[in-house]
Structure 1
Amino acid sequence: MSDLSWIYDYGFLGIRLFELPSLMVCLLLIIILSYKFTIPVIQRLTLALHCFLPFILNDVLFKVTYMPDQLKYWRGVNAIRNGDLGLVAAFFSDENVLQASAFFAVMPFPTPVSPISLGFYNTFLYIFLFFILYAKNIFTKVSLWFYLLFPSMALYTALSLRETLILFFMVLAVVYARESKVFKSILCMVPIYLIKFQNFYIVGPVVLLYFIFNVAKKGMGLTKALIIGVIGLISLLASAPIALPLVNKFRVAMFVEDGGDPKDIELISGVGDFVLQGLTSGFYFLSKPLPWEATSALQFIQSFENLLVLGILFLITRQAWIKSPDRLAFWLLFLALSMSVYGLVVANYGTAVRYRYAFVMMYILFVCADCSVKKLFPKKSAVA
């Protein structure tokens, strides 16, 4: 593989000068699509400001090595672009880092010259997804501004990580499910399986149920949601002897991957503990780190973001319950499933925020769309 360290000879400002073409691609996308869809000026400006985030995250707010996975994707895309690794070989590799790198490599951007480059690739996806949701009338006023101002969304869509790719395809899979476009929805599930199979096994059943119950038009019904919840609990009990060793294995692997000592991770001790944590870990995963658990400045900020997001989730869920409990029931199952699965295996606080934000974003997008939640504090007459 080619030596990539040459970029560091140009210093802080020099590195960022090399990124100006990528910045211009993102700004040009905003200008063209804002004109096409007549986007209000304040929303255009917010999107434009997002384009500058890659400049001020890595090696400004924190060192790029704080999230070392960024270097893996950077090297992977360069290997493909330089011809050191074939695109097809990367797609069919056993390493999901290379598979994600393959998706990045086909995007219409210059070759990534620095570890911050893929932040602009992800910003492009963030902007493009915004206009897809806008054009398809998925946004309400609440979800639109949450999309634009959600701090974790802004952070992870401006870094050189795979999370934005995963969010992009997960959201599109549900968007096409709402439109009963089966083939397109399935097509969006393929990259999810390649890049992050855990999310495939969460979103796949959700998309299937969305088709079966035609949730966008009819909802699921509280009785059906309760039955599915009971079936889920029975399945949890039945699968415990097989699932427990695997869950503990993944808990240790992910803890070590995040730099922890395997001796410090608390394993699930038995079937009872497995069921208890399966039922309770979801809410804890949704809320951690709490302010007193934060071990860094970034985590401390994220802990207060969590409290704000929990408040917004409560307000949105309360209104959705009033307007359309049948539709809400489906998305509550989705949120409970996703949070519980990751709650069982993820111990690191930073990793929890990183994996969680996509599911929170999806919940808010589609609860607001399906249940017509347009304001956080509507007048009483509006919800009566």
Structure 2
Amino acid sequence: MPDQLKYWTSVNAIRSGEISIVEAFSSGSNVLEASTFFAVMPFPTPVSPISLGFYNTFIYIILFFILYAKNIFTKVSLWFYLLFPSLALYTALSLRETLILFFMILAVVYARESKLIKSILCMVPIYFIKFQNFYIVGPVVLLYFLFDVAKKGMGLKKALVIGVIALMSLMASAPIALPLVNKFRVSMFVEDGGDPNNIQLISGVGDFVIQGITSGFYFLSKPFIWEARGLLPFIQSFENLFILIILFLITRQAWKKSPDRLAFWLLFMALSMSVYGLVVFNYGTAVRYRYGFVVMYVLFVCVDCNITKLRSNVTKRYVQPPKNSL
């Protein structure tokens, strides 16, 4: 993945003094701002992108122990964290995604503990590293804190009301949001090697809403097996199928145990998948952007709804056969 070279060269430039930490962090470049966090980590200067990948592996391990110490893991989410292939892949590369995941998860963890200041402090780096995620996770963390979702849940009625308000806000903001969304759609399409003349722009409010809903489901699922071109997308298509089954089983269990808490996280997934589904076309990019939200959904649905198994225990009742009257 060629993006790794950008982070590696930026970290080395900061470490060598070619770019100061203040200059890098205030540059407005996501790569330089993320590289600042890598540069201040107490490790030797990376000699290759592979070396820098170990920085992210360290963050992955530290996050594991934090979640374990704070009793976030259940049996299901623990194994998911350890065995999710995309999580293993992207936390071993020289990219910013592991940093983003780290701060997003900590922001919610502190919101669960009603530590609003610490939660806000964890949101600040996300704004600099990836502002889109800041505007997705920020309202989620605020609602999580205000409704005390971990203890009380949100309630299906409140979730429905918030969903309706979000939909109405989406429609009201269409005149302003549509040009920006179309701009990002074209930019991402061209960045992935597409011809800007071949992309279909969103034409109006109705199309905006429909595209937002349908693209969210598609973003969560792609690439399908028949869409895969190349070995990695082919492997990821099978991973997606497996992950969708896991998500279905977790969601079904959560619906049985605590629908009030589940409703909040369903809103979270709908928002995050729809935002990225509108602008991301490349299958590899979709997997790279999506896995962090999937990990968050599994972690916090499992802990909030006490999901310790993927399937309920079904006890068979013994029915005594009728006595022979003869």
Q: Alpha-carbon deviation of 1:112?
A: 1.1
What is the CA–CA distance in structure 1 between the aligned matches of 2:114 and 2:300, rounded to whole Å?
15
What is the CA–CA distance in structure 1 between the aligned matches of 2:279 and 2:219, rounded to whole Å?
10
- Structure 2 equivalent of residue 276 of structure 1: 210
The 5 Å alignment of 1:76-95 reads 76-95=10-29
Q: How many residues align?
A: 315
The 5 Å alignment of 1:134-213 reads 134-213=68-147
- Structure 2 equivalent of residue 107 of structure 1: 41
Q: Give the structure, 1 or 2, with the largest relative contact order (CA under 8 Å, sep 6 or more).
A: 2
Q: Alpha-carbon deviation of 1:269?
A: 2.2
- Structure 2 equivalent of residue 257 of structure 1: 191
Could you tell me which runs of 5 or more consecutive residues in structure 2 were left unpaired when the two chains were aligned. 316-326
What is the CA–CA distance in structure 2 between the aligned matches of 1:73 and 1:262, rounded to whole Å?
28
What amino acid is the match of 1:262?
P
Q: 66, 75, 94: which one pairs with 1:132?
A: 66
Bigger shift: residues 159-168 or 251-260: 251-260
Q: Alpha-carbon deviation of 1:206?
A: 0.3
Deviation per CA, 1:193-249: give whole Å up to 9, x if none. 000000000000000000110000000000000000001111111111111110010
- Structure 2 equivalent of residue 318 of structure 1: 252
Deviation per CA, 1:249-287: give whole Å up to 9, x if none. 001111222333322322212222111101211111000
- Structure 2 equivalent of residue 71 of structure 1: 5
What is the CA–CA distance in structure 2 between the aligned matches of 1:329 and 1:380, rounded to whole Å?
25
What is the CA–CA distance in structure 2 between the aligned matches of 1:100 and 1:88, rounded to whole Å?
12
The 5 Å alignment of 1:52-63 reads none
Q: Alpha-carbon deviation of 1:141?
A: 0.5
What is the CA–CA distance in structure 2 between the aligned matches of 1:77 and 1:185, rounded to whole Å?
27
Query: Helix, strand or coil for the counterpart of 1:347?
Result: coil
Deviation per CA, 1:58-92: give whole Å up to 9, x if none. xxxxxxxxx21111100100000000000111111
What is the CA–CA distance in structure 2 between the aligned matches of 1:252 and 1:221, rounded to whole Å?
38
What amino acid is the match of 1:99?
E
Q: Alpha-carbon deviation of 1:344?
A: 0.6
> What TM-score does the superposition give when structure 2 sets the normalisation length?
0.95
What is the CA–CA distance in structure 2 between the aligned matches of 1:376 and 1:320, rounded to whole Å?
10
What amino acid is the match of 1:361?
V
- Structure 1 equivalent of residue 160 of structure 2: 226
Q: Alpha-carbon deviation of 1:295?
A: 1.3
What amino acid is the match of 2:207?
D
Supply the RMSD in Å over aligned alpha carbons.
0.9
Q: Alpha-carbon deviation of 1:137?
A: 0.3
What amino acid is the match of 2:160?
L
What amino acid is the match of 2:168?
I
What is the CA–CA distance in structure 1 between the aligned matches of 2:12 and 2:192, rounded to whole Å?
24
Query: Helix, strand or coil for the counterpart of 2:48?
Result: coil
1:373 paired with 2:307, answer: yes
What amino acid is the match of 2:236?
Q
Could you tell me which runs of 5 or more consecutive residues in structure 1 were left unpaired when the two chains were aligned. 1-66
- Structure 1 equivalent of residue 324 of structure 2: none
Q: 206, 209, 225: which one pairs with 1:291?
A: 225
Query: Helix, strand or coil for the counterpart of 1:123?
Result: helix
What amino acid is the match of 2:292?
A
What amino acid is the match of 1:276?
I
Residue identity (%):
82
